[in-house]
Amino acid sequence: MNYDEKTALHRAQKGDQAAFAWLVEAYQGPVYRLALRMGLRPADAEEAAQNAFIAAWRGLPSFRGEAKFSTWLYRLASNAAVDILRREKKYENQWDIEDLQRPDDAPSPQEQVERQDTQQAVRLAMASLPAEFRQVLVLRYLQELSYQEIAQALALPEGTVKSRINRAKGQLKALLAESGNLFGGEAVQEAGKEER
Amino acid sequence: MKDFDKFDEMMRDVLASDETPSSDFARRVMAQVAATPQARPTRRPLPYLKVAAAAAACLVLVYVGTLPLRMRAGSAAPTNQAYSTATSDSATMEAAPEAGEMPDETAGGTAESYDFSTDNGLEASLRQESATNDALASASQKAAAIGYRLEVSTREDGVTVCRLTTPAGCAAAELWLTEQGFADDGGYVLHAVDVAAMNAALPGLSLPEGDCVLILAPES
């Protein structure tokens, strides 16, 4: 059945499972990616996403639309991801700083490869940040939420969100600098070119 | 700053992805949804309950904050404030004899206001009530004339309550009170000496002489 989000939401709130299935289809990608970028492995990211959708289904009758549905759902998803990160011992100290070293094998002339290197370095660095820092960075840069929306999503004051993002960025930059990746995609790529 | 812009761009670029969950993800979620009842909606407390709770809290604060004042009033002689505009005539008639039963030695300088040995006690108290009303009205008029809108009343327990409603006046009064170390506990408990000092410090403000509770309630 075809819905628009408002209708699907309204009907799902009344217990319409078909309408909720529409919402799951619409949001499964973003929610899964959010969990993945929080540092979870694919199977755990699916578990976090599933937990978020079940929490959304249970809580929908009380959802009053004060925030956007997506914002609320991202909160549930990021909380579910944080729960798994804390629960699973395998995520403790999984990344050694050595892992962040830029590969020094034969440099590829292809920008695509450089970009992948940068992505890998940043993702690894992110994985070593505290869960609360990853949470705000993912909501900010992956979901592109405003500070206000993040504040709504995490039930935090906007000032706390801003300072948490700044601290997270600071730590990330320090980690990248420490690993020789400095920061910024271009910075990494340019550094690589200079070395060649 | 430029570095931060670059950094932000890089973060968006790095985090962007088009990865999707496995193809049967939605089906698995819906299977679990089918077995999960929705929670009953939570009822939000009605706003008027919040207002009532806040009002009750204020009353408690005022009551507690004015305890010393009322204790003083209780141990002193009955003053004219005991027979206030807030008190009905019948209440006044009941209150007068009670006041008259208080020992004369505690009455101090105000004892001459009442002649308890004669039948004129009630008449005297009514005269005092009238005088009090005049004084309170005069204070309000004076304050209003220069920008301090003041509502003065007397509670049943004899405490004078001054309510300052001019925003600018409230701001000035609050500043002065804070500087003097007073705390707002649903109102400022001021003794006669404080009232005199405040009147002197804020030209135009004319709180009635004597102890009072000052409430700052700016009204736009």
Q: What is the ipTM of this complex?
A: 0.72
Q: Give the contacts of A115 (CB within 8 A, at least 6 positions apart).
A: A185, A189, B13
Domain-located, residue B122: yes
d(CA A115, CA B96): 92
Residues 2-21 of B with CB under 8 A from A: 3-4, 6-21
Check: CB of residue A20 under 8 Å from CB of residue A57: yes
* Average pLDDT of chain B to the nearest whole number: 71
Q: How confident is the model at residue B76 (pLDDT cuts 50, 70, 90)?
A: low
How far is residue A83 from each of residues A47, A101, B13, measured CA to CA in Å?
Answer: 11, 29, 26
Phi then psi dihedrals of residue A63, to 5 deg: -75, 120
Most A CBs within 10 Å, among B18, B25, B28, B44, to test the A interface: B25
**pLDDT score of B142:** 60
pLDDT of residue B91: 39
Q: What is the mean pLDDT of residues B20-46?
A: 84
pLDDT above 80: residue B172? yes
A20 pLDDT more than 90:
yes
Residue B212 has φ and ψ, to the nearest 5°, of -160, 165
Do the domain assignments include residue B98? yes
User: What tokens appear for B199 in the block?
Assistant: 């009147």
Please give the tally of structural domains in chain B.
1
Per-residue confidence (pLDDT) for residue A92, from 0 to 100: 58
Query: Could you tell me if residue B114 is left (phi over 0), alpha (psi between -120 and 50 degrees) or otherwise beta?
Result: beta
Tell me the mean pLDDT in the region B116-143.
62
In a domain, B31, yes or no: no
Of B77, B112, B127, B67, whose CA–CA distance to B98 is shortest?
A: B77
Distance CA A139, CA A146 (A): 9
- Read off the pLDDT of each residue in B30-45 and give the average, rounded to a whole number: 80
> Is 50 exceeded by the pLDDT of residue A158?
yes
Q: What is the mean pLDDT of residues A18-41?
A: 92
Domain that holds residue B207: 78-216
Q: How far is B16 from A37, CA to CA, in rounded Å? A: 9
- The total of other beta-carbon atoms located within 10 Å of residue A71's CB is 20
Contacts 24+ apart (CB under 8 A), A110-114: A111/A189, A114/A188, A114/A189, A114/A192
**Beta strand pairing call for B150-154 and B160-164:** antiparallel
Q: How far apart are CA A76 and CA A154, in angstroms?
A: 9
Taking 90 as the threshold, does the pLDDT of residue B30 lie above it? yes
**pLDDT given at position A98:** 41
The two tokens of residue A88 are: 């699973």
**Which of A83-92, A134-143, B60-69, B150-159 ranks highest by mean pLDDT?**
A134-143
pLDDT at position B135:
67
CB-nearest to B29 from A50, A61, A118 is A50
Is the model's pLDDT at B161 over the cut of 80? yes
Provide the β-strand partners of residue B213: B161, B189
Scanning every residue of chain B, which has its alpha carbon at the shortest distance from the alpha carbon of A116? B14
Highest mean pLDDT among A46-55, B37-46, B179-188: A46-55
The reply to whether B22 falls in a domain is: no
pLDDT at B80 > cutoff 70: no
Neighbours of A16 (CB within 10 A): 16
> Is residue B182 domain-resident?
yes
Tell me what the pLDDT averaged over chain A comes to: 80
The answer, for A21 touching chain B at a CB cutoff of 8 Å, is yes
Q: Flag whether B50 is in a domain.
A: no
Residues B199, B177: contact at Cβ < 8 Å?
Answer: no
What local confidence, expressed as pLDDT, does residue B108 receive?
38
Q: What is the end-to-end Cα distance of chain B in Å, rounded?
A: 43
> What's the pLDDT band for A56 if we cut at 50, 70, 90?
very high
Which whole-number Å values give the CA distances from B93 to A10, A34, A138, B78, in the listed order? 65, 76, 74, 14
How many residues would you count in chain A?
196
Domains of chain A and CATH, by start: 1-92 (1.10.1740.10), 99-196 (1.10.10.10)
- Domain presence at residue B2: no
Q: Is residue B66 part of a domain?
A: no
Position B188 confidence tier, pLDDT thresholds 50, 70, 90 = confident
Mean pLDDT, to the nearest integer, of A84-98?
62
Question: Which pLDDT band holds residue B52 (cuts at 50, 70, 90)?
Answer: confident
Comparing A95 with A4, the larger pLDDT belongs to: A4
- Asked if B207 contacts B177 with a C-beta cutoff of 8 angstroms, the reply is no
Residue labelled with tokens 């929705």: B38
**Does B39 lie at the interface with A, CB-CB under 8 angstroms?**
yes
- Of B135 and A163, the one with more pLDDT: A163
Nearest to B7 among A54, A58, A184 (CB): A184
In this complex, is the C-beta atom of A32 within 8 Å of any C-beta atom belonging to chain B? yes
CB pairs under 8 A between A and B: 109
Task: Give the range with max mean pLDDT: A46-55, A89-98, B32-41.
Answer: A46-55
| Cβ A36 vs Cβ A45: under 8 Å | yes
Q: What is the predicted pLDDT for the residue at A184?
A: 44
pTM score of the predicted model: 0.49
What pLDDT does residue A9 have? Answer: 92
Cα Rg, chain B, nearest whole Å: 30
